[in-house]
Structure 1
Amino acid sequence: MREIFAGMPWWVKWIAVPVVALVVFGGLIASVIGFVFGLLFKLLLFVALIGGLVYVVRKFISGSSSSRSDW
């Protein structure tokens, strides 16, 4: 691989090749990044919903147990 780029100018290695790679694989890269961000968002939403559920259940249980002890 080094022999191929040995006679090339620096801008071919550092500008042209990455640009061509982005053009060719841009859709794949975008879909992978979108999938990862979507997965992270769903995971965060799941954690928030479970945390809210645990908070509501604890609040309900602690409220109902204190009212039972008043009887």
Structure 2
Amino acid sequence: MREIFAGMPWWVKWIAVPVIALVVFGGLIASILQVVFGLLFKVLVFVALVGGLIYVVRKFTASSSSRSDW
């Protein structure tokens, strides 16, 4: 691989090749990022909902047990 780029100018290795890779694989990269960020968002929503449910249940059970103390 090095001998292929040996006679090329610096901008071919560092600008042209990455730009071509982004053009060719850009849709694939965007799809993968979309799936990853979508999954992370769903995990965060799940954690928030479960945490909220646990908070509400503990608050309700604590208030109902304190009412029975009267």
Structure 1 segments of 4+ aligned residues over 6 angstroms from their partners: none
Question: Which runs of 5 or more structure 2 residues have no equivalent in the other structure?
Answer: none
- The offset of 1:69, in angstroms, is 1.2
TM-score (norm 1): 0.97
3-state SS of paired residue (2:11) = helix
**CA displacement, residues 1-55 of structure 1 (integer Å, 9 cap, x when unaligned):** 0000000000000000000000000000000011111011000000000010000
* Residue of structure 2 equivalent to 1:3: 3
Question: What is the correspondence of 1:8-19 to structure 2 with a 5 Å cutoff?
Answer: 8-19=8-19
Distance 1:40 1:3 in 2: 42
Paired residues, number: 70
* Residue of structure 2 equivalent to 1:64: 64
- In percent, how many aligned pairs have the same letter? 77
Distance 1:35 1:69 in 2: 51
TM-score (norm 2): 0.98
Distance 1:21 1:30 in 2: 13
Distance 2:19 2:66 in 1: 66
Distance 2:68 2:25 in 1: 64
Question: Which runs of 5 or more structure 1 residues have no equivalent in the other structure?
Answer: none
* Residue of structure 2 equivalent to 1:28: 28
